[in-house]
Amino acid sequence: MTNFFNGTATAMITPFAKDGGIEFDSFGKMIDYQIENGTDALVILGTTGEPATMSEAEKEDVMRFSVEKVAKRAKIIFGSGSNCTAHAVEASIKAEKFGADGLLAVTPYYNKCTQNGIYEYYKAISDAVRIPIICYNVPPRTGVNILPATMERIAALKNIAGVKEACGNMEQICETARRIRGKCDLYSGDDNLNLPILAIGGAGLISVASNIIPKETKMLYNFVQAGDLRSANEIQDKMLPLIDAMFMEVNPIPAKAAAEMIGLGGGVPRAPLTELEPAHKEEMRKVLTGFGLNVIA
């Protein structure tokens, strides 16, 4: 299927308090910030949201809160992937029941299944739910790579809406785009490659940096859609130092620190992730200030 969503989506961080709880006031503020700045969809409980460190009860609380807070102002995409197919199916069914517009399912990590195993994983999720599913290919984090021929096969499943590509290999991404074109959509999952992926026909992007700069991220998308590549390059050039800073330590550590610095209340990461190192905090402040953002912390 195609056209589940076109535009920009933010891979939302989950703000945790130092005492371990979820800061829902801050999370609500983040949701409003995204919608007010033109974000089309919110990816909640994706890997950037640290669901691997959350209890099932906490995830349910986040889903319930998100649906009520968003109130149909944007599409909600809940993360439901797992290294266990049965758990991914269960999480997908639960997300659908809680009111998700769609799902983002990362490949089964660590187990290193075969390409056929990847297909069977997505088929099991597809068979279990009715809502759109976006596959998430991020081999640097999972150890598993959806090859273009496999994604073409997956695209034939009834409710596969697209693939979030973060393999980092534009040659592979171009081949995937060729094979799935008209069958399901391609989304950028790597902020550094947003512009080239949009340029080869990407339907949108799922961004970490847009936690901080949703307005500019949407501007990039709009410029490409308008065929104004000069302006698209200018905004991408401006964004790149901040994008690089978002990954100076493992995601979502820098994004959470940046959200704190600009007053969104990003909270702290959960162990085994740690807070941004002091030297990197100073570097982050300089990057945010250089971008023109108001740093208050």
Catalytic residues: 136, 164
Sign of CA pseudo-dihedral 136, 140, 143, 146: positive
- Placement of tokens 């109130």 in the chain: 71
Geometric angle at alpha carbon 259, from 297 and 79, rounded to 5°:
160
- DSSP label at 45? S
Buried-exposed string 157-182: b where 16+ CB fall within 10 A, e elsewhere: bebbbbbbbbbeeeebbbbbbebbee
* Backbone region of residue 16 per phi and psi (left: phi > 0; alpha: psi in -120 to 50; beta: other values): beta
Distance set, CA 3 to CA 39, 74, 123, 203, 221 (Å): 16, 15, 20, 8, 15
Cβ atoms of 47 and 141 closer than 8 Å: yes
Helix intervals (H) in 246-291: 253-261, 278-291
CA nearest neighbour of 273 among 44, 61, 88, 48: 48
Radius of gyration of the chain (CA): 18
Structure tokens at 160: 């596969």
